[in-house]
Amino acid sequence: MYNEIVIASGNKGKIREAQEILKEFKIIPMSQFDIDFEVEEDQDSFEGNAIKKAEIIARMLNGKMCIADDSGIEIEYLNGFPRCIYKKVA
């Protein structure tokens, strides 16, 4: 019996990648729980957004183990653009 992990993503590529990397776990897309929910990406980092997504979906599923990913492009020469558009405005 595999340990189950819910992936807080609707991205088929990310789901497939998680299944390939975490072969010892049964990776279940959140859509199998009829969750079609976009979490607002308003944290100051990719890591912060991923943690927020995983925590919200885990709570929606009564504490099931949940993982999430948030990634994007940052260009150092352009001071982090386009990622900087997601940072909170004080």
State the catalytic residues: 70
Residue 17: φ, ψ to 5°: -60, -45
Give the separation between CA 67 and CA 46, rounded to whole angstroms: 13
Name residue 4's amino acid: E
Residue 20: both structure tokens together? 């390939």
Name residue 60's amino acid: M
**How does strand 25-29 pair with strand 3-7?**
parallel
